[in-house]
């Protein structure tokens, strides 16, 4: 198993001013992780296309620490750009991130297709948007291929998350360098069974995110759940990020499924809970290694 960490796991420390991406490289290298994923979200500072010197510095620091940069994760919103009559600008912006990935030496780029929080209001709207995003994804994949890169869509947010919808997009884009980043926890946002969803998604997976959540069947008081970091799913359940291996996902069964599938790409810890970042990442890596060994 190639087990690594997403820089997003340190988003709270970065937001508090206690760390930057160069520091993340050092911390992840110190954990003994096999690789690092650079995520635009939670990174602080300018976007890497606007600061090529920073991209070069991150690449140099990672090389010096012997830490491969396997993936680069960015936001994209082709739906809103289309509605604003500015789809070309959004495609060109994503092209800029492809150049940043090339500077980093990260061979895989995950981009969204709509805003994380957006949800369709009807099945007709869902079909319309699913068709709309195919062309931009093809253009991005084609440009990535020219740069020697691969692109991915992730089950992420409230629209492009259902496994059947994600697989349909991969089939429609129909590019050999376009695949999926499978986040084992995100399926819960649309109330999909995570084990069944992972099983359905692995055939197109290039990267797997290991994530864990605490789950409430219904997100209700006491207290203010949103203020405490809880997320409401489409069906009204509550999710709170937790240390990998300490939440409510059936991670032992999921890891067995991943290992039995023969998946040999990067497996990446993505922590987004209230616990201390450093302790959570260290514990998550240890739990993931144990789960993988037990799945043999």
pLDDT in tens, 139-184: 999 999 999 999 999 999 999 999 999 999 999 999 999 999 999 9
pLDDT of residue 106: 98
- In 3D space, the residue among 261, 262, 259, 266 whose CA is nearest the CA of residue 292 turns out to be 259
pLDDT of residue 222: 66
Strand pairing report for 238-242 and 212-216: antiparallel
pLDDT of residue 31: 98
Q: Please name every residue paired with 111 in a beta bridge, in sequence order, or none if there are none.
A: 74
pLDDT at 107 over 80: yes
pLDDT of residue 227: 72
d(Cα 286, Cα 296) in Å, to the nearest integer? Answer: 16
Categorize the per-residue pLDDT at 223 as very low, low, confident or very high, splitting at 50, 70 and 90: confident
User: What is the per-residue pLDDT across 38-83, written as a single tens digit (0 to 9) for each?
Assistant: 999 989 888 999 999 999 999 999 999 999 999 999 999 999 999 9
How many C-beta atoms surround the C-beta of residue 122 within 10 A?
Answer: 8
Residue ranges of the domains in the chain? 2-294
Contact status, residue 57 vs residue 34, Cβ threshold 8 Å: no
pLDDT of residue 226: 75
Task: Quote the DSSP letter at residue 86.
Answer: -
pLDDT of residue 113: 98
Categorize the per-residue pLDDT at 10 as very low, low, confident or very high, splitting at 50, 70 and 90: very high
Full-model pTM: 0.96
Residue with tokens 């998350």: 161
The proportion of the chain whose per-residue pLDDT surpasses 70, expressed as a percent, equals: 99
pLDDT of residue 25: 98
Q: How far apart are the first and last CA of the chain?
A: 11
Categorize the per-residue pLDDT at 228 as very low, low, confident or very high, splitting at 50, 70 and 90: confident
d(Cα 121, Cα 115) in Å, to the nearest integer? Answer: 15
Categorize the per-residue pLDDT at 224 as very low, low, confident or very high, splitting at 50, 70 and 90: confident
The DSSP element (H or E) to which 60 belongs, if any, is: helix 52-64
The CATH number given to 2-294 is 3.20.20.150
pLDDT at 219 over 90: no
How many C-beta atoms surround the C-beta of residue 172 within 10 A?
Answer: 15
Task: Quote the DSSP letter at residue 39.
Answer: E
């Amino acid at each position: 198993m190639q087990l690594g960490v997403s820089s997003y796991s340190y988003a709270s420390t970065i937001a508090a001013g206690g760390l930057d991406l160069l520091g993340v490289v050092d911390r992840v290298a110190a954990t003994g992780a096999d690789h690092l994923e650079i995520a635009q979200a939670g990174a602080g500072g300018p976007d890497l296309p606007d600061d090529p010197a920073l991209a070069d510095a991150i690449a140099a620091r990672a090389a010096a620490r012997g830490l491969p940069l396997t993936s680069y994760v960015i936001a994209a919103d082709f739906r809103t750009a289309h509605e604003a009559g500015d789809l070309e600008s959004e495609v060109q912006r994503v092209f800029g991130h492809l150049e940043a990935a090339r500077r980093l030496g990260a061979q895989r780029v995950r981009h969204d297709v709509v805003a994380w929080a957006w949800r369709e209001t009807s099945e007709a709207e869902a079909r319309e948007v699913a068709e709309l995003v195919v062309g931009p994804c093809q253009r991005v994949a084609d440009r990535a291929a020219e740069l020697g890169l691969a692109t991915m869509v992730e089950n992420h947010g409230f629209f492009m998350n259902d496994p059947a919808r994600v697989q349909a997009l991969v089939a429609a884009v129909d590019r050999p360098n376009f695949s999926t980043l499978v986040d084992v926890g995100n399926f819960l946002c649309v109330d999909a069974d995570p084990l069944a969803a992972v099983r359905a998604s692995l055939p197109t997976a290039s990267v797997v995110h290991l994530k864990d959540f605490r789950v409430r069947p219904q997100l209700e008081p006491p207290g203010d759940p949103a203020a405490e970091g809880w997320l409401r799913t489409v069906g009204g359940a509550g999710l709170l990020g937790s240390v990998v291996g300490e939440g409510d996902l059936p991670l032992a069964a999921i890891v067995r499924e991943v290992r039995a599938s023969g998946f040999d790409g990067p497996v990446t810890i993505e922590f987004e809970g209230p616990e201390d970042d450093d302790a959570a990442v260290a514990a998550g890596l240890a739990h993931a290694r144990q789960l993988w060994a037990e799945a043999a």
